[in-house]
Structure 1
């Protein structure tokens, strides 16, 4: 296992800082109204210095949204693997455990990353076509993790309806950027309870 040098660690930290600043600025102003100079200034560097980390503003947006979608997919897979060791999900109990773990995982993401959710909602179409396809592919794969668990819990429901159910739950959990600020613990509990009810309710 290689150990990152101080210079490599510093570069990675600066990249993360730029992405964090981009999420905040894009969420507040919209992608088109933020310049590279704005991004650089937010982390204490010049606009041209941003090019040391990204090819341009479009690449910043791509990294932000692709990283988020890939992180959700990888995290969702890890959650299921840890919750249901004998994957695939085959029993009602397995399905309930998997969905509870997925809900907790997604609620944590939503509460901790409201700016990313706002950028995804407002600026997905600003991505280059190839990056937009990548994001949508990752998101479809993430949704199917939920649908697989739901298909065990609701065996008589066709998969298109189960996808609708999953997307409805995402709408609840992703509402954090648009809701009144509350204590994080209370917000997590409320969103988890509402999403679980939506996913578990009989048709």
Structure 2
């Protein structure tokens, strides 16, 4: 007979089952480091709070502090772990033999692709790491360059020291380029396409090396107050970092009272956003001018690269600030800037696809990002290579031959 609710035959409920005890993950420290790498790469060192990282891991802030006493300690370990991962990938490649270069570049590309959410950290180590911690990352960077250069010179023993260093810097930039964007492509295709483009730089026709270029001066500051504020702010941000520059510093550099700055910009973040918008406007204009002066897809690609290189080589401070400080702008402004960047990449990729009919558009996007990354990285070298040499390397990536 089945008992009915409300009758004396109903069985009294027993004690509630005990809530399963939540087990502490054995690799909690690694989970914290992984979450920190994503957060620092996405938002920038200063914009990230330890509470945000704790939430991402699913732990309390006090639990995180049991592993790391402060944000810098976590940041230093995060960069060290990423550096060690890259070093392990390089050391797994046997030294010697004609196939070493390709295997190295495949390993570097795969490491970049698998760490796309964390690659921004490599661009910041010189600004935020203390000397001892910076040396850990620098050691891996130097080791990587030497391994790739030795393998490249086995294939091209005629490459001189200057040319070899430049080509290897470009190859490394190509291999690292997947960390700069989120375009979609299967890993197996990326680890073929990107190493192919990097190795192809061995055959790039480089103009004769010019004498080392003197660092460009700042030039004259615009007389218009708003423009003067933007110009001086970018110089200060590049030199000291956004966090360590005050409105008073900017006002003093622009020969204005602080109130004069506030008449044009409501905040320091607004100045930064205005500078970034100005940069994207210049890129858009350069692209439009290049297309207007061209009659074929090939001419368009060469003209776009030429103008972009000229712009990049003359705006290294703004590029440096964009790379390291974009985490300080508001989410809306960041989305706007990223959206404009995607439009530029799509425009370039379209013309690459029209020139190289056998190249899928998805592949063209990856090559455009690689070429743009090479321009950015090489233009920031000291001494800066001649623009025509940077142009030759980035054009080779897009066209696949010498122009």
TM-score of the alignment, normalized to the shorter chain, above 0.5: yes
Q: How does 1:38-77 map to 2 (within 5 A)?
A: 38-77=249-288
Aligned counterpart, 2:346? 144
Q: How does 1:12-27 map to 2 (within 5 A)?
A: 13-27=224-238
SS in 2 for 1:50: helix
Gaps of 5+ in 2: 1-221
Structure-2 separation of matches of 1:32 and 1:176: 26
Bigger mean CA offset, 111-120 vs 170-179: 170-179
Q: How many pairs were matched up? A: 180
Contact between 2:230 and 2:275, CA under 8 Å: does it hold in 1? yes
SS in 2 for 1:174: helix
Structure-1 separation of matches of 2:378 and 2:357: 31
Is 1:83 the counterpart of 2:294? The answer is yes
Contact between 1:73 and 1:139, CA under 8 Å: does it hold in 2? no
Q: Which has the higher helix share?
A: 1
Contact between 2:286 and 2:308, CA under 8 Å: does it hold in 1? no
Structure-2 separation of matches of 1:175 and 1:124: 17
Bigger mean CA offset, 123-132 vs 156-165: 156-165
SS in 1 for 2:293: helix
Note the aligned Cα RMSD (angstroms): 1.7
SS in 1 for 2:224: helix
How has the CA–CA distance of structure 1 residues 176 and 15 changed in structure 2, closer, same or farther, with 3 Å as cutoff?
A: farther
Structure-2 separation of matches of 1:173 and 1:82: 21
| Larger Rg, first or second structure (1 or 2) | 2
What is the CA-CA distance between 1:17 and the residue it aligns to?
A: 1.3
Structure-2 separation of matches of 1:191 and 1:177: 8
Structure-2 separation of matches of 1:192 and 1:20: 26
Structure-2 separation of matches of 1:160 and 1:41: 48
TM-score by length of 2: 0.43
Greater relative contact order (CA < 8 Å, ≥ 6 in sequence): 1
Structure-2 separation of matches of 1:168 and 1:176: 12
TM-score by length of 1: 0.83
SS in 1 for 2:382: coil
Aligned counterpart, 1:8? none
